[in-house]
Amino acid sequence: MTQDLILANARLVLPGETLTGSLVLRDGRIADIAGGAAVPTGAVDCDGDYVAPGMVELHTDNLERHISPRPRVSWPHQAAMMAHDAELAGTGITTVFDAMRVGLVTSDGVDQTRYARELASEMLDLRARKALKISHFLHLRAEICSDSLLEEMAEFGPEDRIGIVSLMDHTPGQRQFRDLTKLKSYVMGKRGLNEAEFTEHVATLKELRARHGDRHEAGAVAEARRFGAVLASHDDTTEEQVAASQAHGARIAEFPTTMEAAKACRDRGLSVIMGAPNLVRGGSHSGNVAAHELAREGLLDILSSDYVPAALLLAAVQLGDLWGDMAHGIATVSRAPARAAGLEDRGELAIGQRADLIRFRRLEGVPGLRGVWSAGHRVA
């Protein structure tokens, strides 16, 4: 018989409220919830710590950081995947949509290698062998300005657990990098380009957008439908871009760059994702709209750790403080992303939900994790 795990005397972050109570976990699910500070025999006394749903991450570049820890440095994929998995578990993320780029700029004179199909297969194999701590899905970042987008997407199918396809249009001078000086600083710093090489890079991307953009965009939308994946826009800046995203069938808007775009997303029913690092740092590193500004206007639905996994819980707690509602803040990293991605079995503390949980306490305002459970198994 499976032994129950009881987490008692906890501040439970429930849908819409936070109260003192206990949870019973059984067979990987939440079996019961009760109020009160009592600690039954054999239960874990949480000593007033918060117990909240495990976090759901929709867009993180963390796996790519592990497989390429330095420019032009490759790391063994399975080792990178397992390190990435353990890192996310250690930050309280229990479900992740691993972002993988599809679409290379082979005409840019840079040595690039296709990696998404191979990496996805290795991830699915590790999952089948129960070698991973948390739940993994795929997120294909469809690079519109590329040479190989549709060829790479054709290598995937509905069996590949592709949960999200995002349309990534990085044409210089618009969206995230309307300010070319920001693009210049980012690209030259990351890739070590000189002035002439940067100028050539900009020209190449603009030429690729002119040559392939419309076909790639339409093809990526069609492929998302074939996979059964949720479609996401990326870096929408204007009302017109949001309208186009909605017409494609997008349900999620990743990192709108202006207040105008965020308001248009709300009007058209797209869930708005903003970066947790943006919130923690107090602004965008690209000079775009600040996450806290959208939060104050009620235009922020979901947080993503983006490039700092540990930022997700910290930012959710900061939102709870900003809104005066911890349950609302935690929902931006649990229930809201789960439902936006079509997952109904996780993301909230409710009877019958997956027992994906985190336990934390606040240390001078900073949340300190004290336990993480995935499907009822402690993973950190």
Q: What is the pLDDT of residue 334?
A: 98
| Alpha-carbon dihedral 344, 349, 354, 355, rounded to 10 degrees | 160
CA distance 82 to 125: 12
Q: How far apart are CA 24 and CA 4, in angstroms?
A: 7
Residues ≥6 apart with Cβ < 8 Å to 47: 9
Angle at 108 between CA 181 and CA 208, to 5 degrees: 80
Residue 218 phi, psi (nearest 5)? -65, -40
pLDDT in the model for residue 177: 63
Tell me the pTM: 0.91
User: 361: helix, coil or strand?
Assistant: strand
Residues 6+ apart with CB under 8 A from 232: 58, 59, 164, 165, 166, 167, 250, 251, 252, 253, 254, 273
Look at the block and give the residue holding tokens 């501040």.
11
| Cβ-based neighbours of 112, under 8 Å, separated by 6 or more | 104, 105, 106
Q: Report which DSSP code applies to 40.
A: -
Going by C-alpha positions, the residue among 336, 302, 307 that lies closest to residue 99 is 307
Strand (E) positions, the chain?
Answer: 5-14, 17-26, 29-35, 44-45, 50-53, 55-60, 93-102, 135-143, 162-168, 230-234, 252-254, 271-275, 302-304, 357-363, 366-374, 377-378
CATH code, 54-347: 3.20.20.140
DSSP code per residue over 81-128: HHHHHHHHHHHTEEEEEEEEEE---GGGS------HHHHHHHHHHHHH
Q: What pLDDT does 185 receive?
A: 62
pLDDT under 70 in the chain at which residues?
Answer: 1-2, 106-112, 170-195, 197-198, 200-201, 210
Q: How far is 172 from 240, CA to CA, in rounded Å?
A: 18
Structure tokens at 330: 């935690």
C-alpha span between 137 and 160 (Å, rounded):
8
Which CA distances in Å does 158 have to 67, 126, 163, 224, 285?
25, 18, 10, 9, 36
The strand pairing partners of 315, in sequence order, are none
Percent helix, percent strand, percent coil in the chain, to nearest 5? 40, 25, 35
Cα separation, 308 vs 228, in Å, equals 28
pLDDT for res 111: 46
Cα–Cα nearest to 224, from 269, 164, 168: 164
Q: Compute the radius of gyration of the chain from its Cα atoms.
A: 21
Q: Cβ of 239: how many Cβ atoms within 10 Å? A: 16
Q: Domain residue spans in the chain?
A: 54-347
Pairing of strands 302-304, 357-363: unpaired
